[in-house]
Chains A and B, each alone.
Chain A
Amino acid sequence: QVQLQESGPGLVKPSETLSLTCTVSGDSISHYYWSWIRQTPGKGLEWIGFIYYDGSTNYSPSLKTRVTISVDTSKNQFSLNLSSVTAADTAVYFCARVPTGLGDAFDIWGRGTMVTVSS
């Protein structure tokens, strides 16, 4: 059974960098695209970006200047870095799998991790 687990600090200071890791278990990270999505009460669900196991990425234009997604195939993990955070980046952050054959749907999600940006 494939499982995804987000991990990282739950509190980040304004202007600092938010860093999260998604650990994949039950399957190799080398077979799919992987994505980060966040959810806020105000803006709802927002796609952040995705990465392929070879390191190729695509980011949301609204976050592109601040986002970096990376992958570590040896650890079966991928990570999100979001720089220069503000209170608007307070959200629940989800990682998700993007399999082939489903039209880029997110078929398996982590449970999500709440990140608060506050001093």
Chain B
Amino acid sequence: DAKTTQPPSMDCAEGRAANLPCNHSTISGNEYVYWYRQIHSQGPQYIIHGLKNNETNEMASLIITEDRKSSTLILPHATLRDTAVYYCIVRASLSNFGNEKLTFGTGTRLTIIP
């Protein structure tokens, strides 16, 4: 399984873009990058995922480098409600049936400063 490395914490001013980095230098060609976030006392929430192209949805943008060894999650206009722990995950296949599991690390604690 490809492992991910994220900074333990980051701050961002409200209204600014929050850029959360993730290193996954051992990622395989068929492994996707997923981002989840966990707001205090809640279960994790899916944000976005991608394989090699950049992706955007209503919550965020995902930029994956050409060599796929790192990625950045961008929250374009951070609000106080974006304060959470953000997890970068590489999806791994497990078992002969090709089913998958998500392995969470400890993530990045993002604090939005008013």
Tell whether A pairs with B.
Answer: no
